[in-house]
Amino acid sequence: MLLALLFICGVLNFALGKAMLESGNPILDSLPPALRRGGGRVSLMLEFLILLAAMFLAASGWKAAAWLYGAYTAVNGTFCWLLIKGRI
């Protein structure tokens, strides 16, 4: 069950990351070019590695990884909302 919740959070993070990259907000110009190149493939790969690490740690019995990834998802969602609404 915990891994399923992490997977759902991971899908949400991928969607948020893609929405941020496609928003065209000027703040994204401060990102390194490698993270924006190819439609953000490198940043999505980094997102995948973070999800994979959280899932491995949670499967190994470290439940705090799920809480940390949930907090990461909440912060990511808040930042994406602020970015898309033009508040930053």
pLDDT of residue 57: 95
The gap between the terminal CA atoms of the chain, to the nearest Å, is 36
Provide mean pLDDT across the span 4-21. 90
pTM of the model: 0.82
Domain limits, the chain:
2-84
Provide mean pLDDT across the span 79-86. 87
Dihedral sign, CA of 65, 70, 72, 73? positive
pLDDT of residue 74: 96
pLDDT of residue 20: 83
pLDDT of residue 13: 93
Residue pair 77/70 in contact (Cβ under 8 Å)? The answer is no
Place of tokens 């799920």: 66
pLDDT of residue 68: 94
Q: How far is CA 8 from the centre of its chain?
A: 12
- Residues 16-70: tens digit of each pLDDT: 988 888 887 787 778 787 776 776 788 888 889 999 999 999 999 999 999 999 9
Write out the two tokens for 26: 């000027």
